[in-house]
Structure 1
Amino acid sequence: MKTSNPVLSRLGQAAERERAAGHAPAGAYGQPGYGQPYPTDAGYPAAPPTVTPMSIDDVVVKTVTLLGITGLSAALAWVLVPDALVGAAWIGAAVVGLVLGLVISFMRMANPALVVTYAVVEGVFVGMVSKFFESFLGHDGIVLQAVIATFGVFFLMAGLYKAKVIRATPKFVRGVIAATVGIFAVILINFVLALFGIETGLRSGGPVAIGFSLICIVIASLSFILSFHEVEEGVRMGLPSRYSWTAAFGILVSLVWLYIEILRLLSYFQGDD
C-alpha cells in the first residue's frame, strides 16, 4: 500500500499484521466461531480476521459524538462556572486541552477515553470563550453566528473535497502543515509577548488583527481537507476501526480552531477586541 502519509502507511502495515494474526474466538461445540477455524472453498481452515476495519460511517458517528460531548460540556461550563472564574477556567482548559491534543497527535493514540476527555476539556474552553464574547463584551447573538459560519465552512470544504475541486496532494499537505505550525508559533509568541505587556496588534481588533484572523480561518478551513484525506486513506488501507476516534479528533480540533477564529473576527466588526 502506498500513501503520501508515512504515519498512515505504518498504521496500514500494522493493521495487515493484526489481520494476518486473526483467529476464531475460543469456545466449544466444534462449530465455526466456537473455537474452530472457518472452512474455505478449498477445504482448508482459515482463521477469520479479528480486526474490524475503519469505515466512513464510523468516523461520522464518532465525530458527531465528540461534537455532542463538546457542546454539552460548553453549555454546562457556561451555566455552572461563576463569572469570577471564567478567566481561570478558560486558561486552565486551554492548557489541559493543548497537552492532551499534543499527546493524541504525536503519539497517534487511538484511545476513546483520552479523545472523549479532550472533547470535554475543549467544551469547557469553548464555553468560557463564548461566554466572554457574548456576555462580558455584550455581543448578543455572536455565538450563534459563529456556529452557523463554522459549520457552513465545514460543509463547503467537504463539498469541495468530494467534488475534487481541492485535492490533498503531497505538496498541498506539506504546505498546510507548514502553515499551521507557523501560525501556531506566531500565536504562541504573541501570547508570551502579551504577558510582558508588548502589543503586536495581532489581536487588537485593527486591520492587522482582522488580516491575521482571516489567514487563520483560511488555514483552519484547509486543514479539513487533510482530515478528509486521512479518513479516505485510512478506510482504503483498512485501518482498525479504533482509529476512527483519531480521525474524528482531527476534525474536532479544526472545528474548534475555526470557531474561535470566526468568533474573534466577528467581534472585531462589532467594535470590541
Structure 2
Amino acid sequence: MSDAVEALTHESLAGAAHGFLGRSGGVSEGLAAGLNVSFAEDDPAHTAENRRRVVAAVLPGARLACCYQVHSPDVVAVTEPWDDGARPHADALVTDRPGLLLGVLTADCAPVLFHDARAGVVGAAHAGWKGALGGVTDATLAAMEALGARRADVAAVVGPCIAQRSYEVDEGFERRFGEADPANQRFFRAGRPGHAWFDLEGYVAERLRAGGIGRVAMLGQDTYAQEERFYSFRRATHRGEASYGRQISVIGLR
C-alpha cells in the first residue's frame, strides 16, 4: 500500500477541488489499514489524522463536512461544518460556500460528486442501492437548484463502487427494482438460479442522465476487486472479517 494519498479526479469536475480517495496514504492499522475515515472502525486519533490528510491533499485549509449516512434520499445544504456528534442524518450534501469540503463515506456504495461551475454550487451524494432507488441523486440536484444551479450546467461523476461482476443479488432485490420501473431490468445480468448480477454504477449514472444534467461520467473502479486500493463491505463480509474501513469522496469550492 502506498504511503502517498491517492485522490482520483475527473476532468468533468476540473473547476472544483475534488477527489475520490481510497486506502493509500493513511495511518490506520489492521483490517482497516490505510486511509480509513470512519470513526466507527478505528482509533479516533487515526481517523482524525486520516481526515486531516484528505483535506490537505484536496483543498488545504478547508473545513470538512460529512453527514451521518442512513441510506436515505435526504440532502442537507451546508453553510458551516458541525461537530461530529451533531451530524444530520442524511446521505447528500450541497453548498455554495467556498472553503467547505463536502465528504461522503463509502465501502462499495457509489459516491457521486456534482459541480455547476457557472453557478458555483457543488454536491456530494452517497448512493447505495437503497438511496439510489429512493432518489438521492434526484434530491441532490433539486437541492443544488435551490442554491442557483441549473441542471444543464451540472456535471456529475460516479466514483469507485462495487462493479456488476462483483455484485450478486437475490431475486427479491431484482424484483424490487423491476417494480419501481420495468426498464431497470437492463441493469441486471442473469446468474445462478434465484440470483443476478446488479450494475449499481450503471443504474446511478442512468438516474443522473434521466435527471437532465449536462454531463455524466463514471470512473469504472471496482471497490470489491481492488483490495490494496479500496475498502469493501461485501469483500469483508464474504471473508467473515469484523471490520472493513471506509473511503471518502470529497468536493469543494476554492
Q: TM-score range by the shorter chain?
A: under 0.3
Return the TM-score normalized by structure 2: 0.24
Q: Which has the larger radius of gyration?
A: 1
**Higher relative contact order (CA closer than 8 Å, sequence separation 6+):** 1
